[in-house]
Structure 1
Amino acid sequence: MAQRYIDLSTEVDDQKAHLVRTNEVAPIIIRNCREEFQHVSEFKEPIVYGRIAENMPEHALIQNQFFMVKDVVPADIDRLGTYQQYLAPNLRKMNGPYPVYGMGQPTKDGLSNFMSHLREENFKTILLFNLREEPVLFVQDEFDMIPYSPRHQDTPDNCIVNKGFRVSETARMEVDMRREIIDLAAFKDDQRFYFYDDIENFKEDPHMFRAAYEDDLGVSEEIYSRLTFNNSGIRYLRLCLPSEGVPMETDIDAFVTAFIELAALPVASSHSVADLTWTTSFICIAHIYTLKCGQLERSIIVLAGAKTPYPINDKSPNFDRAEFAAIQQLVHYLPEGLHIKRQVDVIIDQCGELHNMRTAILESKKNLESITEDYIIEGKSAKQHFLQRCVHDLQRYFYAICFNAYLHQEFRSLFGITFTTWMQSQPDLYNILRNLNISERRTSPDLLIRGDRFLVADDYLGLDVLSSQMDVKTSNFRRVPGLPVYGMAQPSREGLSCVANHLLSKKQGHPLVVIFNLRDDLVIECNGATYGVREADFLDEPIVMPGITGSEISEREEQLKKAIKAKKNFQVRHVDQPVEAREFNSVLTVTDMVDQLKLQTKEVMYHRIPMWDDSAPAEKHFDQIMQIINGLDEVNTDEDGPALVFQCRTGKGRTTTAMAIAGLIISHKKGFPYGTKPGEEERVSLPNAKYTQGHYKVVQDVVRRIPDGQQVKREVDFILNQCSDTMTPMHYHMREIIFVTYNKMKKSKTSAEQTFQKKRSLDYLERYIYLILFNTYLHCERRTKWSSSFTSWMTNVAAKAGMYEILDNLAFLDFEPSACQLRTRRARWNIHSMVTLPTRGHFV
């Protein structure tokens, strides 16, 4: 709050300035005085000062880290040369009859003038969308207000984008920044602050603009919303779209809702678009990708037909037409997928004056594949940079096709369900999206031959915490008490033989051994020891291939075997030991190991089901395990039943998950033992037992919705307790690890580690919920002997009960006031590891 000080002189001079005050008695004249105001800072933290470049003045940074930089520098951004005439860069209309316009960030007058121009063109209704995610302030400069955006002191060339801000958050940031600029300017006599127009040449920079009152600085809401008061035909909506990747489904819902609230859209053919009397004007800065994403959605809504689609040759894809593997899968999955894709292609071409989405993917692919020696772009690997661009652009193209498919299905019913719900009800779309980048599947064994990658032993000191090597020559071998379900780490040929002989012995009494290999990375046995393939600089990080099938990964291992046999001499590594030269006399794939075992005994079966580590299995993985067990007659005819043996690299995460799935299936076939009914479960009296027992709010929400939910959860908890009974030295309990990992997140020292641990704890929570849902499926479909798959049940039954909605809003609401950005499955899938492995293979 400002304080007022008055300096009184002892001498009176009538020529000096004087101040007249009045009260209830008489006027008071104070002569020869001077008024001074002292600004009292409201900043609780020290003000950070910085300079944008050498030889530039040092001044206070906004929020201790940002400079204010002019949005539009016509020479750099305005490729269409429209700024000088319209005060808006890259202003254009989409080709064709559709009233769709796009532009970069205009000034206040530029926006107002263009709205007036559209009204003069007899457009009675205008939908005005602001797609900017980052905060923007408009600074009074003579007769107009010019847009400026905050830029981080380390990257002043780039806006604050891809932060996942919501509209309310961005709006609040703009208001807070304006208040701070006014406070900082108040420290100077002229109440001006520093703004930059040209951060490359710094010509006449910094510019000092007055920032004494809120009238001097405008926020986006003031600039845009006030237009609606002057013309009731303008409808304004802000959507915070990312400059990379795709918008959230909820943003697309808001986009569609704007049309629904405006008027009932006519179901138009290609000849009736003249009846549409509204215009969409998209406001976006230089990142044309964001503009195209929004412009494309608007255009598809008014599109009624397109040309005959080109057929896709799966074996010889045309990348000019974006026939990438994920798009091929999508086209095959969607009804009339090829026609829907072709419609999107037509719209992309009509919007392609500045940027063509398909061409952008191809250009990034070519840039990626042209790199012979990696270099640095924007602080990271050039290969990683262009791969990321490939993925982001392909994600947008993928979503454009999905959006068009949604319109085809929901247009005539005026969008009876939202795009979010539509996507959630089709998990196969998310599975395709999750595995968009399959470049690792296109790598060559030559990487191993050249020394870019190494063979690293699966076994290491400390792996066998259950001390089972002494008995069966395999680490972490154990059994679920009372069930024919076993788990182990990766066995060698000798270990596999020992395990099979042990289980087929009279003492164990199993008539059959069924081995499930859950690894999604390459594994090879050389001279009696198993190895995985790793990057030279990341020996601890397995090179996984998400989404790969069992037959595909077996084929890749066969190629690896041939390459190793051809060279024979290799340098192998152990994680805890120095490099060692080896000459391999024997090289076998896991399939070869099983085939050799079958020569000794025919009572062995083998299945490869590559599963994701440390996350919920895909629904198809539940079905695969279920189908295999259902096909075993011995489950019903033999008292002991076949031995179901699950293995991954360490025998922990994926193995325990699959053991729990199998345990639930067998229990439904043979009955649950004592310990699953109310009052039978073991009592726990420990700190935070509520959470180690899985009683989170989101879990309780699931339990309340499913039939007999408490009993279903009790059965899952019983199986998980049984699975961990023999694993105590591992300290790995699938339910308890949720809370343990969340506590690790709170203790993390870096933001990257915190994000990763938060993501992992949510993955564990999702995995737990999926087990509860799978047990619900086993109960509900028992009368039909599970003739319907779990995948189908999730789509047709669980989705209608809101299960996907819960999975897309996961949060620890017990400890946090609201869900974080990782609440959705899509957001969690984007974070695979804290380590970014070198980019290899071809983007297809």
Structure 2
Amino acid sequence: MSIPKELEQVMKLRGGSVLGKKTILKSDHFPGCQNKRLSPQIDGAPNYRQADSLCVHGVAIPTIVGIHNVLKHIGAQKGGKAHVLWINLREEPVVYINGRPFVLRDVERPFSNLEYTGINRDRVEQMEARLKEDILLEAARYGNKILVTDELPDGQMVDQWERVSCDSVKTPLEVYEELQVEGYLVDYERVPITDEKSPKELDFDIVWMWKSVDAIYVFLHDVMVNKISQADISTEVVFNCQMGRGRTTTGMVIATLAYLNRIGASGIPRNDSIGRVSDYASNVTDNLPNSEDAIRRGEYAVIRSLIRVLEGGVEGKRQVDKVIDKCSSMQVWLSKYPYLFRLALSLKSGLK
């Protein structure tokens, strides 16, 4: 990306605690990412979809108008009958400027996310609050304008000045708090997850793999599943990430598994032994190859082995397959299949 010298100088002079040297504010809303097969198509909210007729929804990062439109579509506007739990899965610090989302990026790598693996909600929201302060301080030096970078449909990057005020720069938390004040029936949660990352269970033997998912399992179970489970059974749950694909779809699958378990429609019998590994599990092998077709069906060699040695394994896999089908109008990262398989069983057994 070739940057005019005067604009490059602006970036070099940046000295904020978050908006620092050689960082840019890149437009984070991509109407062009809309999957044309999805319906309805909601203005300002690309890739909106619902998991069948269940209370689970997904969307790419929306504009502020897009958030309003999604909530109205679901029926969570003032005077509406629906209540929404909106779960933002973005790990990256995001800020809204004049109703559009912008994300912090390295000027040398504008298309790559800045990763903050392991960051929690408090820290990312503190970063967003400081980013807002940095923007307003910098804008004061340039006639209440901030330099931002837009991405054109053909992928070209264009730097331009955006006029701002104290009221036109908002963190995501502030956006949802204002919606609540306006009467929208929405609760907001932030569960930061690194894009396209998953535990590498498939590289290990069956018993080690089953234990290795504990970190991500505990994190997602305690934060996401518990939030969903604590909400009223009729609550509409909406997930968003950046493009509304990997993280959002995984969240939708998790929420659907939890929902079906709550209404007693999981298809998995409830007892204390569900999901337990038998003593001879380490001796079980499966020499069948992981063909492409088998992997698409979730039939990893390690999953086939788990099905044979775990209580409720067959029912658990059947349930995960069914839920993925309900949520796969965009995509599912199949590398997360082992985690989802364990979650299906653990919801029934109380496994920790």
Contact 1:510–1:643 (Cα < 8 Å) also in 2:
no
1:646 partner SS? strand
In structure 1, give the amino acid aligned to 2:162.
R
- 1:700 matched to 2:304: yes
Q: Label 1:598 to 1:775 Cα distance change in 2 as closer, same or farther (>3 A).
A: same
Q: Which residue of 1 aligns with 2:225?
A: 626
Distance (whole Å) between structure 2 residues aligned to residue 468 and residue 571 of structure 1? 35
In structure 2, give the amino acid aligned to 1:697.
A
2:32 partner SS? coil
Q: Which residue of 2 aligns with 1:480?
A: 51
Distance (whole Å) between structure 2 residues aligned to residue 665 and residue 672 of structure 1? 10
Distance (whole Å) between structure 1 residues aligned to residue 255 and residue 15 of structure 2? 35
- 1:456 matched to 2:49: no
Q: Which residue of 1 aligns with 2:60?
A: 489
The alpha-carbon deviation at position 602 of structure 1 amounts to 5.0
Distance (whole Å) between structure 2 residues aligned to residue 706 and residue 511 of structure 1? 39
The alpha-carbon deviation at position 513 of structure 1 amounts to 0.5
- 1:570 matched to 2:146: yes
Distance (whole Å) between structure 2 residues aligned to residue 703 and residue 552 of structure 1? 39
Q: Which residue of 1 aligns with 2:142?
A: none
In structure 1, give the amino acid aligned to 2:315.
Q
- Residue pairs, 1:379-778, within 5 angstroms: 445-446=16-17, 448=19, 450=21, 452-460=22-30, 462-466=32-36, 470-504=41-75, 511-568=82-139, 569-575=145-151, 576-577=155-156, 578-585=158-165, 586-601=168-183, 603-616=185-198, 618-619=216-217, 620-632=219-231, 634-635=232-233, 641-672=234-265, 688-724=292-328, 726-727=329-330, 732-735=331-334, 764=335, 767-778=336-347
The alpha-carbon deviation at position 567 of structure 1 amounts to 2.0
- Residue pairs, 1:266-285, within 5 angstroms: none
Distance (whole Å) between structure 1 residues aligned to residue 56 and residue 332 of structure 2? 17
- Residue pairs, 1:98-117, within 5 angstroms: none
Contact 1:469–1:475 (Cα < 8 Å) also in 2:
no
Give CA-to-partner distance per residue, 1:108-145, whole Å, 9 cap, x none.
Answer: xxxxxxxxxxxxxxxxxxxxxxxxxxxxxxxxxxxxxx
2:85 partner SS? strand
The alpha-carbon deviation at position 529 of structure 1 amounts to 0.8
1:486 partner SS? strand
In structure 1, give the amino acid aligned to 2:32.
G
Distance (whole Å) between structure 1 residues aligned to residue 31 and residue 174 of structure 2? 26
Distance (whole Å) between structure 2 residues aligned to residue 583 and residue 571 of structure 1? 9
The alpha-carbon deviation at position 588 of structure 1 amounts to 0.4
Give CA-to-partner distance per residue, 1:502-545, whole Å, 9 cap, x none.
Answer: 21269xx8531100011111000001110101111101101121
Distance (whole Å) between structure 2 residues aligned to residue 511 and residue 498 of structure 1? 14
Contact 1:464–1:475 (Cα < 8 Å) also in 2:
yes
Contact 2:29–2:62 (Cα < 8 Å) also in 1:
no
2:24 partner SS? strand
Contact 2:64–2:175 (Cα < 8 Å) also in 1:
yes
Q: Label 1:777 to 1:482 Cα distance change in 2 as closer, same or farther (>3 A).
A: same
Q: Which residue of 1 aligns with 2:3?
A: none
The alpha-carbon deviation at position 645 of structure 1 amounts to 0.4
Q: Label 1:719 to 1:444 Cα distance change in 2 as closer, same or farther (>3 A).
A: farther
2:33 partner SS? coil
Q: Label 1:566 to 1:716 Cα distance change in 2 as closer, same or farther (>3 A).
A: same
Distance (whole Å) between structure 2 residues aligned to residue 771 and residue 631 of structure 1? 20
Give CA-to-partner distance per residue, 1:223-278, whole Å, 9 cap, x none.
Answer: xxxxxxxxxxxxxxxxxxxxxxxxxxxxxxxxxxxxxxxxxxxxxxxxxxxxxxxx
The alpha-carbon deviation at position 449 of structure 1 amounts to 5.4
In structure 2, give the amino acid aligned to 1:534.
R
Give CA-to-partner distance per residue, 1:577-605, whole Å, 9 cap, x none.
Answer: 32222222310000010011111225210
Identity of aligned residues (%): 26
1:471 partner SS? coil
User: Structure 1: 5+ residue runs without aligned partners?
Assistant: 1-442, 636-640, 678-686, 736-763, 782-789, 794-844
2:228 partner SS? helix
Distance (whole Å) between structure 1 residues aligned to residue 191 and residue 76 of structure 2? 27
Contact 2:261–2:347 (Cα < 8 Å) also in 1:
yes
1:462 partner SS? helix
Distance (whole Å) between structure 2 residues aligned to residue 477 and residue 552 of structure 1? 28
User: Structure 2: 5+ residue runs without aligned partners?
Assistant: 1-13, 140-144, 200-215, 270-290
Contact 1:510–1:642 (Cα < 8 Å) also in 2:
no
Give CA-to-partner distance per residue, 1:740-764, whole Å, 9 cap, x none.
Answer: xxxxxxxxxxxxxxxxxxxxxxxx1
Contact 1:456–1:573 (Cα < 8 Å) also in 2:
yes
Contact 1:611–1:621 (Cα < 8 Å) also in 2:
no
In structure 2, give the amino acid aligned to 1:642.
T
1:448 partner SS? coil
Q: Label 1:733 to 1:631 Cα distance change in 2 as closer, same or farther (>3 A).
A: closer
Contact 2:42–2:66 (Cα < 8 Å) also in 1:
no
Distance (whole Å) between structure 1 residues aligned to residue 67 and residue 171 of structure 2? 13
Q: Which residue of 1 aligns with 2:278?
A: none
Q: Which residue of 1 aligns with 2:206?
A: none
The alpha-carbon deviation at position 472 of structure 1 amounts to 4.2
Q: Which residue of 2 aligns with 1:169?
A: none
Contact 2:30–2:46 (Cα < 8 Å) also in 1:
no
Give CA-to-partner distance per residue, 1:141-175, whole Å, 9 cap, x none.
Answer: xxxxxxxxxxxxxxxxxxxxxxxxxxxxxxxxxxx
Q: Label 1:709 to 1:539 Cα distance change in 2 as closer, same or farther (>3 A).
A: same
Where in structure 1 do 4 or more consecutive aligned residues deviate above 6 Å? Answer: none
Q: Label 1:544 to 1:688 Cα distance change in 2 as closer, same or farther (>3 A).
A: closer
Contact 1:524–1:587 (Cα < 8 Å) also in 2:
yes
Aligned length: 287
2:333 partner SS? coil
Contact 1:453–1:535 (Cα < 8 Å) also in 2:
yes
In structure 1, give the amino acid aligned to 2:300.
Y
Using structure 2 for the length normalisation, give the TM-score.
0.75
- Residue pairs, 1:267-306, within 5 angstroms: none
Contact 1:485–1:663 (Cα < 8 Å) also in 2:
yes
Distance (whole Å) between structure 2 residues aligned to residue 565 and residue 516 of structure 1? 27
Distance (whole Å) between structure 2 residues aligned to residue 521 and residue 550 of structure 1? 11
Contact 1:503–1:510 (Cα < 8 Å) also in 2:
no
1:474 partner SS? coil
2:323 partner SS? helix
Q: Which has the larger radius of gyration?
A: 1
The alpha-carbon deviation at position 463 of structure 1 amounts to 1.3
Contact 1:703–1:710 (Cα < 8 Å) also in 2:
yes
Give CA-to-partner distance per residue, 1:467-493, whole Å, 9 cap, x none.
Answer: 669524211111000310001111121
Q: Label 1:631 to 1:720 Cα distance change in 2 as closer, same or farther (>3 A).
A: same
